[in-house]
Structure formats: C-alpha cells, structure tokens
Amino acid sequence: MTSGRAIQSALDIGHGTVRVVIAERVEDEKVRLLGAGMASSKGLSRGMPLAVKPMVLAVEEAIAAAEERAGIEIDEIHLGVSGAELGSSAHEAHLLVTRNPLDTRSSLIQDQHVRQVRELAEHSQSVQIDRTVLHRLIQEYLVDGAEGVQNPLGLHGMRLDLRTHFLSVPHNTVESLKACVQKSSVAVGSVSLTTLAASEAALSDDERELGVLLMDFGAGSTDLILHADGKVRHAASVPVGSAAITSDISRAFRTPGSEAERIKCKHGACDGRLIRRDERFQIQFTGGEGGEEASRSQLCQVIQPRMEEILELVERELEASNMRWMLGGGIVVTGGGACLEGLPDLMRDRYGLPVRLGAPRGVVDMDSSTAVLEWTPVIGLAKMALRQAPMRNGSQASRTLMDWVNRLRRQVAL
C-alpha cells in the first residue's frame, strides 16, 4: 500500500459487525494502528453471510472509514473466518530416508527429505472435498521414533515422520466471504482462522508453552483454540455467543435489539454476587424520548443463566477433546462478549483455572480498557500478515486505539 513501510490491513466479518484495521510494524515487533473502521452488518449464519449486498456495503463502509483515518488506500486485505463448522485434526506423514542405517551418507537427513515429508503431509491426508484447509501447522518431527525434533536437518535416521495439525472450514463459507470482499474492489490476501489470529494478538509465549485455552467470545459463536508446548492442539466452535444474551435481554425487558445491546454493554453483569439489590438503570424508549427504570439484579438474572449455558458447552468440548489437563496456563478470554462484568470470576469458579482477559499485546499507545477486546481478533490478523512483511523505514503518528474505538462507537450509534 505504501512503499518503504511494512503496512498491512485486516478484515474481521463478525455476526453483526464488520471491523477493519490498518497496521504498521514498528520496532521490537510491535505494531501501530494507523486506522480502524467498523460497520454494522446483517450477520452470519454458521459463518455464511445472510445476504451478499448488505454485507458488501458493510465491508465497503468499514474499509472506507479505516482508509480515511489512515490516509492510505487499501488494495489488499487479509480476511478472518470464524463461527463456521471448524475442523481440527492431527495427522502424521512418514518418509523412509534409507534402508541401511550403517550408511552414514544415505541416512543423513537433508533439505530434500524435509520437503518430501512436508509434501506428503500436505497431500496424503484425507480432507473432505467440501472443506478448505486454512492452516497446516507443523507440530514436530520424529527421527526413528524420537519425538520433539524441531529441525531434523543434519541428523541421521532411517525414518523421518512429521506430525501436523489441520484447521479447516467449509469451502463455500470461505468463497462466499471472499466474494463479498472482492465485490468491494479489494483483493483478498491470506485467509486465516480468527481464533488463531486472536492467539497471535493476546497470548504470551509462556502461556502457549504451559498450555492455555483461548476463548474468542463473539456475537454468533464462542470459538476455542488450545495451545500446549507451544503448539496448537485443538480448536472448536460453540454455536452460541453474546448475541443470544442480547436476544434474552430484548425479550425479558421488551425492548428492541439495539437497546438491549446497549443495556448489556453498559449495565450487564454475569455474576450476581457483584450486584447490589438497589442498583437500577434506565431503559430508553425508541426515539430517545424518556425511559423507565429497571433492576440491575434482574438484568443479571437474565444474563447469568445464558452465560452458564455457554460455559457448560465449552466445558463439554474440553472434556470431549480430553485435553483439559494441558491447561497449566489457564484460560484467556477475548472478543466483545468478554466485556461483561464478572466473567473472569465466574469462569474461575466453574473451571478452577486461572482466567484473564485477552486484550491485544504489542500495540503502541493502546489503552487497557475492556472495550478493545472486541478488536483482538482483527488486530491479530494484521499482526499475522505483518509477520510476513519486511521491516521498512517510516512511521506515522496515529491516535490511540481507544480514540478509534470511541469514535467508531459514536458513529455506529447514529
């Protein structure tokens, strides 16, 4: 987009909101946000756009807002996919290096052997024809059965094995999202799983080594990815998110969805122990004229059961994967739904594990407010793209992330 600088843009198409960021890499692998844009959308169903034209308009609006703030025109954007029918599977590929273990010349593992076993891993695994593999993640090599080899070059062995982990989504989901972006006259660069991107933004290397579950608590789904020993071990998607809480509030207090969303974000809590009985809040009538009081305790009684249902579904997924024992680093929760007051304490009590909020790391001038949690996945997408970009000279002053968030919230509310 701009010569002489490492700049990338990223797009996260969520259940009801489209977010775009333009980011520049600066010193020490940190990034600076040059611009951000947000627009309301008609939503997704199992990761698929409900309608093409409204989605295209939302993508165009978010891109235009980011471009205006950054003073940069986007020609390529990196796309995130979430909330789809996620496939997560481990695979192994095997290569016979030599039949003579005493021949040191033929048993030396060279570049060609590594290339061959990687090709076998990529092409020999059975992936359903209706699915797209977004990520083929190398876990480890094995030389004659010895595990944990990270680089087998220069070692001697008869057999070289490669363990990989595939993350896949329905092919039509990817193509439909790409079509919406391309109709906005912007090319699609990489396509990545947003949960993996959120890990890039929110997790530390120590957490990945100890074992950590990242929960991306979005509107339409709660997406999970488990890291241990520095590698992705499992990923899944629970088809219930914070939009279900908004819907519950709308029905319980007989108010439109937009007002229910405002109430949830401003007054919502998911742990009744944090609420005093005399706490009240205002429900605004349509048009902004007048309102009526409601009990915050009653609001919590609406929110907490739904939240506990979501946490129960997450727990079932953990038990089914048989990997809960790996979570020495606990749980990191991010996404818009993570902003609800009391969520970390509720999760600690339920899972008996350390829990923290996963705000983006390594972003210059970033505010620590929970309002930035909903931007973690798209910032992670930009960081993943920047990791592949060369470091160049150049810098540009930019607003802090909270400046962007506050301005975007006001615009979307209009």
Domains of the chain listed by start with CATH number: 87-170 (3.30.1490.110), 204-360 (3.30.420.40)
- Residue 42: per-residue pLDDT: 76
DSSP state of 403: H
- Residue 395: per-residue pLDDT: 37
Task: State which H helix or E strand residue 295 sits in.
Answer: strand 291-295
Long-range residue pairs from 136-140, CB within 8 A, at least 24 positions apart, any chain: 136/164, 136/165, 136/166, 137/164, 137/165, 137/166, 137/167, 137/231, 137/232, 138/162, 138/163, 138/164, 139/90, 139/163, 139/164, 139/165, 139/231, 140/231
Residues (pLDDT < 50) of the chain are 390-399, 412-414
- Residue 12: per-residue pLDDT: 95
- Residue 16: per-residue pLDDT: 85
- Residue 47: per-residue pLDDT: 77
3-state secondary structure of 319: helix
Token representation of residue 244 = 């279900």
DSSP state of 239: S
- Residue 392: per-residue pLDDT: 38
